[in-house]
């Protein structure tokens, strides 16, 4: 039995994680937290998620004695603090936080020398299959196509482009021997001039309750290839996170991605 703590348990993603954990026999939800001052502090995590009571009350701080793996889909600043805590307490982590900067990514690499961390901006099985398809497409098509990445999310998402879109860009850039920092174009306006074929364009949509849509276009002369993934439920990510908890529980240390979990 793997004991897990869910950070941000009162939020939309946190509630789905609570539901997913309740459905898995190998996972035992033993702690749920949210930010201090949240009106749901003290409420049962299961009831908040809309399922039967889990006998786990939402608290405003972690207790290392109660969990083996922390699932964190919060905010980069909060995640950074949680990494420090788990490193100190020797606890494993499954991180799905998006919008991480280079400083946080560096911290993850350093912490992974001591503890096991699975970090992925998107834990959907389908998205991670798409990443492998994008790698193949980029290698085959090379510099003969223009590459554009279009992503759409709900109106409340605070970071752009999405972590998934950036991961797609990184996979493509690495496959082509490029540095995404040098070739990424984030939106266009005005007289931009002719397109540089070696750039990778990003377009962002924020509207309504879109869970997450991603399309990568490889456009050449006379034909184009589009690889698209659409999410209709956050349970897709939650189920992936639970699968990652089962996998990371067997590791002592190291930084892993969802493709490691899936074996692709």
Selected catalytic residue, list 35, 107, 157, 251: 157
Selected catalytic residue, list 153, 167, 214, 229: 153
Contact 27, 248 (CB under 8 A): no
Q: How many Cβ atoms sit within 10 Å of the Cβ of residue 119?
A: 24
Cα dihedral 204, 208, 212, 218 sign: negative
Residue 253 a catalytic site member: no
DSSP 132-199: HHHHHHHHHHGGGSEEEEEEEE-TT--SSS-HHHHHHHHHHHHHTT--HHHHEEE---S---SPPTT-
How far apart, in whole angstroms, are the C-alpha atoms of residue 178 and residue 181?
A: 9
Residue 157 a catalytic site member: yes
How far apart, in whole angstroms, are the C-alpha atoms of residue 28 and residue 22?
A: 7
How far apart, in whole angstroms, are the C-alpha atoms of residue 124 and residue 193?
A: 37
Give, as one character, the DSSP assignment of residue 66. Answer: G
Q: Which of 56, 216, 44 is nearest to 130 (CA)?
A: 216
Among all residues, which ones are annotated catalytic?
153, 157
């Amino acid at each position: 039995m793997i004991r897990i703590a869910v950070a941000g348990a009162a939020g939309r993603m946190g509630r789905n994680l609570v539901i997913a954990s309740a459905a898995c026999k190998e996972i035992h939800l033993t702690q749920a937290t949210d930010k201090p001052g949240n009106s749901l502090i003290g409420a049962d995590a299961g009831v908040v998620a809309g399922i039967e009571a889990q006998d786990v009350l939402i608290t405003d701080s972690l207790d290392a004695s109660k969990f083996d793996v922390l699932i964190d889909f919060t905010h980069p600043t909060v995640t950074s603090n949680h990494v420090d805590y788990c490193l100190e307490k020797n606890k494993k982590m499954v991180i799905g936080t998006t919008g991480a900067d280079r400083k946080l990514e560096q911290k993850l690499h350093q912490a992974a020398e001591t503890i096991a961390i699975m970090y992925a901006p998107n834990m959907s099985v389908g998205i991670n299959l798409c990443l492998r398809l994008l790698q193949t497409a980029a290698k085959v098509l090379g510099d003969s196509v223009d590459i554009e990445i279009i992503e759409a999310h709900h109106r409340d998402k605070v970071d752009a482009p999405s972590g998934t879109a950036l991961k797609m860009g990184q996979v493509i850039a690495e496959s082509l021997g490029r540095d995404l920092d040098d070739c990424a174009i984030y939106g266009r306006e005005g007289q931009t001039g002719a397109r540089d074929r070696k750039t990778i364009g990003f377009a962002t949509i924020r509207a309504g309750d879109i869970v997450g849509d991603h399309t990568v276009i490889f456009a050449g002369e006379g034909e184009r290839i589009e690889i698209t993934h659409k999410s209709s439920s956050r349970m897709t990510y939650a189920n992936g996170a639970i699968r990652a908890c089962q996998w990371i529980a067997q590791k002592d240390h190291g930084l892993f991605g969802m493709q490691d979990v899936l074996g692709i």
